[in-house]
Amino acid sequence: MSERRTALPDAAIRESADSVSLGAVCHCGGVLNESAGADAPVVALVGAPNTGKSTLFNALTGARVTMGNWPGTTVEVSRGVWRTTSATAVCDCAECDCAEKEWKLDITLVDLPGAYSLDPHSPDEALTRDLLLQVPGDGRPDLCVVLADSSRLSHSLYLVSQLREHALKIVVALTMNDIAARRDVKVDVVALERALGVPVVAIDPRQRKGLGPLAEAVRSGLAAPLPDARPVGADPDDPDGLDEERFCWIAEAVEAGTDGHGAQHPSFSDRIDRWALAPFLGPVIFLALMWLVFQITTTVAAPMQDFLDELFTGPITDGTLALFSAVGLSGSWVEGLVVRGLIAGVGMLLTFVPLMTLMFILLAILEDSGYMARAAVVVDRMMRAIGLPGKAFLPLIVGFGCNVPAISATRILPDSRQRVLTALLVPFTACTARLTVFVMVGVTFFGQYAGTAVFVMYLVSIHLVVLCGFLLRRTLWRDMPYDPLVIDLPPYQRPTLRLTASVTWLRLSGFLQTAGGIIVATVCGVWLLQSIPVTSDAAFGAVDTADSAYGVVAQAITPVFGPTGFASWETTSTMVVGFVAKEAVISAWAQTYALDEPAEGEAGDLGARVFADFNESSGGHPYPAALAFMVFLLAYTPCVATLASQWREIGAKWTLFGVVMQLAAAYVLAVAVFQVGRLFW
Amino acid sequence: MPVALKNAPLRSTLVLRQGGAQAELCQRLAVLGLRPGTAFQLVQKTSGGGRMARIGQSRVAIGAELAGQLEVEVNQ
Ligand SMILES: Nc1nc2c(ncn2[C@@H]2O[C@H](COP(=O)(O)OP(=O)(O)O)[C@@H](O)[C@H]2O)c(=O)[nH]1
Ligand SMILES: [Mg+2]
């Protein structure tokens, strides 16, 4: 996790000065590990959003990547190794044993966030600018590959015009040539090259075409001396004049480099958009699709999740127990660590895999098809009311199924501040794991009104999202500038299987790497606390929960919950378990009372004990205490997997902030519910 | 006669007028092809009160708020 984060800039910001001269580096042997090494040249991918940077990045690097946030920021930057072979020699060393026409060069490739220009409007654009221009000479990438969408060339060239005003090595890679061709726009690469004054290569990152010529262009660019900056004929202190000059330059380049005006009749995309963006039908289509996403991530994933869960708690646990008793270690602490720590932790992690896979596949399809941009338009008005862009709707909806993939889904938000804000709000959405606890508590306390009580929890959940979003916008993100909706809509297209698969795999493996450690470590940590005897002289690993370090901690924090009406040791203890996973709350309850778990939807003996307990701790007001408990369960940390997911997306600092914010919100609300409730009930 | 973009007719040729948006935003619009002096068309109304514009080859969705701020000249 953290070391992956800090590992990012090592290659991007290099220290050694002489490494820029390529002649000194021999790469013929090829590099076997996943890093291109400290002295490999660094090439940055830049370009406007949706020009195909990430697709190209994935195509060039394969699995050799580190994804993560730039240190100190929440801006996502991916770094990977691009292995190139070339017919031209890159080194002249004697011990070189490269085959003829196969000189290898490993390049560190950096995928920077999308930027239309070098004038920073967001932290993402600011990072791009700083890396390309502000960082002193050696730290900069050795070459920029600017991606330009040839179906709307002029949009992509503003960045080129600005970059050309600096002495930087640039290669322009034209993407979306298939779309341009469909619109009868012809791009004359040679003429465009002459007009822009930089090498231009036409590629198709989706079909992985043109990557060889791109490698050639990049390698000759790296070997060539720094080009001169483009002389600007306008006063640099006059931004309007400067812009005017740039747009003239762009217009000339587009004029020289493209042929044909394209079809003017309504395209296929226009015809779909007539429905998909329409005032009434647009939201209906959108909601139907969201319902589908929600259904797939909950109902389709559920049986697979249950299967994995049963596999781990059943056969695998039983088998391991049998193994331990066979070697005479039955009941030992080693068995406890393996079964209740490692197996339980890994099992929990793996139950998320079907869910996350489905989520990532759906995200990739929605993005690749071009619908995601439309979704952002359709719900923009509504989401803006709570200070979030339209795209934030999807993570929040998914959150009602499970918070873990929902937080990963914040990745679709282009602006890192919006990503942080959304990732902080997602845990307030009542996931299905919390639903099972709500139902049990609801049935126990409210009998036939259980449904109403659960429904109220959903209302509270929505209000928490809106309210906290509003408060955060008014406090921490007060300076987040007004960001009106203007997006260029990409044409619709059929999602490609290969792209969907590779994006899904990349995201899934990233999730497993980060979340795996956190989840397994936490589950083992809880086991450890439950195994350390404190108030009894039982042996390590053989102690009752009440007498363990865990029990002592739960007892110590119990008085804090006095004003909430549910301050009993048994209840606070389940809440500590609930921190790990909400599904575990009921079984933990049953465990502390040494009772069987009730069947789903029933209160059973456990219900009677819980009721008695609440009655006592609340001084005769069990109903408001139960409501307060439900509200607390709703608002505080959903589970460690959510934290792990947050950690991965927005970093440790914001994750911690989120934990504190949620605990505070949960506590304040619970106290308010109980104190007001007991006046009437 | 200048009108707010949200009041401009669909499918007529429109020309953006100077001002209306902050400098920062102007640049974003300009990069997307919405520069003062360039002609474009509104293709349809979008849900939420926004508009979709056709500028050359591209389609740009403009939110309701922004559509209220931008001023255009209608060329018949
Ligand atoms: N038709 C077509 N689609 C492409 C091409 N390159 C990328 N795409 C698609 O364009 C979308 C945006 O690509 P992405 O790599 O996410 O862009 P980024 O925002 O620059 O990182 C994805 O759905 C890609 O599949 C191309 O050459 N042709
Ligand atoms: Mg990208």
Instruction: State how many domains chain A has.
Output: 1
Residue B58 CB burial class (10 angstroms; 0-12, 13-18, ≥19)? buried
* Single-letter amino acid, residue A75: V
Give CA–CA dist A417/A545, Å, rounded. Answer: 42
E strands, B1-76, are 2-4, 13-16, 39-46, 50-55, 58-62, 71-75
- Check residue A124 and give its pLDDT: 74
3-state secondary structure of A356: helix
CA distances, A376 to each of A15, A72, A121, A358, A493 (Å): 42, 28, 19, 21, 17
Q: Quick check: is A667 in a domain?
A: no
CA of A52 to the centre of ligand 2 (A): 7
Give CA–CA dist A245/A232, Å, rounded. Answer: 8
Give CA–CA dist A287/A284, Å, rounded. Answer: 5
Cα of first residue to Cα of last residue in chain A, in angstroms, is 48
pLDDT per residue as tens digits for the range B12-61:
999 998 766 677 778 888 888 888 888 999 999 999 899 999 988 789 99
Closest CA to A58 of A356, A364, A354, A494: A364
- Check residue A101 and give its pLDDT: 52
Which single residue is written with the structure tokens 């042997």? A29
Give CA–CA dist A335/A216, Å, rounded. Answer: 57
High-pLDDT (> 90) share of chain A, %? 27
SS3 content of chain B, % helix, strand, coil (to 5): 25, 40, 35
With a cut of 50, say whether residue A247 has pLDDT above it: yes
Domain that holds residue A199: 3-259
Handedness of CA A58, A173, A5, A34 (dihedral sign): positive
Q: How confident is the model at residue A401 (pLDDT cuts 50, 70, 90)?
A: confident
Q: Quick check: is A562 in a domain?
A: no
Q: Quick check: is A213 in a domain?
A: yes
pLDDT per residue as tens digits for the range A431-471:
878 887 888 888 888 888 888 888 899 889 999 999 998 89
User: Which long-range contacts link B64-67 to residues 24+ away (Cβ below 8 Å)?
Assistant: B64/A380, B64/A381, B64/B6, B65/A384, B65/A484, B65/A485, B66/A484, B66/A485, B66/A486, B66/B5, B66/B21, B66/B25, B67/B4, B67/B5, B67/B6
Cα of first residue to Cα of last residue in chain B, in angstroms, is 11
Q: Quick check: is A246 in a domain?
A: yes
Q: Indicate which of B26, B47, B52 best probes the interface with A, i.e. most A CBs within 10 Å of its own CB.
A: B47
Q: Quick check: is A494 in a domain?
A: no
CB pairs under 8 A between A and B: 118
Is residue A269 within 8 Å of residue A182, measured between CB atoms? no
CA distances, A330 to each of A318, A339, A524, A527 (Å): 12, 11, 19, 17
Core vs surface per residue A457-487: b (16+ CB within 10 A) or e? beebbeebbbebbeebeeeeeeeeeebbbbb
Give CA–CA dist A402/A352, Å, rounded. Answer: 10
Q: Quick check: is A47 in a domain?
A: yes
| A residues 133-162 closer than 8 Å to B (CB) | 151-152, 154-155, 158
pLDDT per residue as tens digits for the range A326-346:
988 887 888 888 888 888 888
**Identity of the highest mean pLDDT range in A98-112, A374-388, A507-521:** A374-388
Rounded to 5 degrees, what are φ and ψ at A387? 80, 20
What structural domains and CATH numbers belong to chain B? 2-75 (2.30.30.90)
Q: Quick check: is A114 in a domain?
A: yes
Give CA–CA dist A441/A447, Å, rounded. Answer: 9
- What are the structure tokens assigned to A674, written together? 């109980």
Is the pTM of the predicted complex or chain greater than 0.80?
no
Give CA–CA dist B29/A129, Å, rounded. Answer: 19
SS3 content of chain A, % helix, strand, coil (to 5): 65, 10, 30
User: Is 0.90 exceeded by the ipTM?
Assistant: yes
For range A289-310, the mean pLDDT = 82
Q: Indicate which of A487, A488, A489 best probes the interface with B, i.e. most B CBs within 10 Å of its own CB.
A: A488
Question: CB contact, 8 Å: A119 with chain B?
Answer: yes
**Considering CB atoms only, which of B27, B35, B52 is closest to A119?**
B27
- Check residue A133 and give its pLDDT: 85
Handedness of CA A216, A217, A219, A223 (dihedral sign): positive
With a cut of 50, say whether residue A15 has pLDDT above it: no
Give CA–CA dist A496/A502, Å, rounded. Answer: 10
CA of B57 to the centre of ligand 1 (A): 17
- Check residue A213 and give its pLDDT: 94
Which ligand 1 atom is nearest residue A179's CA?
1
Give CA–CA dist A449/A446, Å, rounded. Answer: 5
Pocket of ligand 1 (CB under 6 A): A 47, 49-55, 114, 175-176, 178-179, 204-206, 367-368, 493, 499
B63 CA to centre of own chain: 10
pLDDT per residue as tens digits for the range A267-285:
889 999 999 999 999 999 9
Tell me, what CATH number does A29's domain have? Answer: 3.40.50.300
Q: Quick check: is A175 in a domain?
A: yes
- Check residue A170 and give its pLDDT: 95
- Check residue A665 and give its pLDDT: 95
CA of A47 to the centre of ligand 2 (A): 9
